[in-house]
Amino acid sequence: MTVPRDDLAGVVLAAGAGTRLRPLTYELPKAMCPVGNRPLVDWAIDRVTPHVSSVAVNAHESAPALVEHLRGRVHVSVESGERLGTAGALGRLRPWIDGRHVLVHNADSFVDDDLALLVEGWTGAQPRLLVRREDHASDFGDLKFLGVSLLPARIAATLPDEPCGLYSLAWKPAYDAGLLELVEARGTSIDCGTAADYLRANLHVSGGANVVDPTAVVEGTITRCVVWPGARVEADEVLVDAIRSPLTTVSGAAPAA
C-alpha cells in the first residue's frame, strides 16, 4: 500500500554552494538560477508539493536572496557555518518532519517526470531512489541517482544534526543489503551543476529557443542562449550557447569529447 500523503513530508535541498556553476553562483544562489525564467528551487517545490503534506527547504545563511524568496511560502531551515549535507539537513529538520516519511528533492535536479512514478506503491519500508540507466559504471551498478528519493521515517528519525550525507548513512547500507529500491525515470533528468547542463535544462524547457528574461535587453544576436534578469546583450554582440548574466558571460557549450 502506498504511504498516505499525510504521512509524507517534502524537503527540497537548496543549501549547496554551487561551486561548479561559478561564476554564475557569485551572483545568484544555485537554487535561484532560472530555468525557463523560473528559479530552480520553484521547479523542485512544484514537483514535490502534490505528493506531500507540507514542504520545507534548507538554505544557507550565505544565500539571503534565497531565504527571502522562500519566506512565507514553505518552511525554511537556515543553516549557518559549515553546510550540513544531505543527511544533516534532514537531521536539523527532525522536529519539523515529526515522524513522517520524507520525499527529498535536490534543488538543482531538473526532472520532468511526474513524481507519482516514484511515490506510488512505496510502503515506506526501504529507501527508494529515482535513477537512470547509464552505459557505464555509475552510483549503483549502471544506475545513476537523479537527485530525488524517498526516505523511511525510521531512518529520518536517526539522522544527526551535523554534516553528513545520505549516501553513506542510508543508501549504501541498503544497497549492499539488497534492500534499496531503484525506480528508473521515464522522462528527462538534468543535474544543473555545470554551465553546459544548466543551459541544456533551459533549452529543454524552451524547446531549443533562447530563454530571455522579460527585464533583459537583447539588441545583438543570440542563439541557444539564456539571458538573466537585468542582463544586456549589446547590438554588436553575437552569443551562441551562452549564459549572459548582468555581470558575466559563461559558455554553456559542452566540452569536446
Please state whether 115 falls in left (phi above 0), alpha (psi between -120 and 50) or beta: alpha
Q: Does residue 214 have a cis peptide bond before it, meaning omega lies within 30 degrees of 0?
A: no
Report d(CA 133, CA 143) in Å as an integer.
Answer: 5
Strand intervals (E) in 50-172: 54-60, 75-79, 101-106, 109-111, 128-133, 143-151
Q: What per-residue confidence (pLDDT) applies to 149?
A: 97
Burial class of 212 by CB neighbour count within 10 A (0 to 12, 13 to 18, 19+): buried
CB-CB contact of 82 with 75 (8 Å): no
pLDDT profile of the chain (257 residues), mean per 10: 93 94 95 97 97 97 94 95 96 97 97 92 97 91 95 97 95 95 94 95 96 97 97 97 97 63
Q: Which residues of 28-50 are buried (b: 16+ CB within 10 A; e: fewer)?
A: bbbbbbbbbbebbbbbbbebbbe
CB-CB contact of 209 with 251 (8 Å): no
**CATH fold of the domain at 5-189:** Spore Coat Polysaccharide Biosynthesis Protein SpsA; Chain A (3.90.550)
Q: What per-residue confidence (pLDDT) applies to 135?
A: 87
Which of 245, 218, 243, 240 lies closest to 229 in space, CA to CA? 245
Question: Domain extents for the chain?
Answer: 5-189, 210-251
Terminal alpha carbon distance of the chain: 46
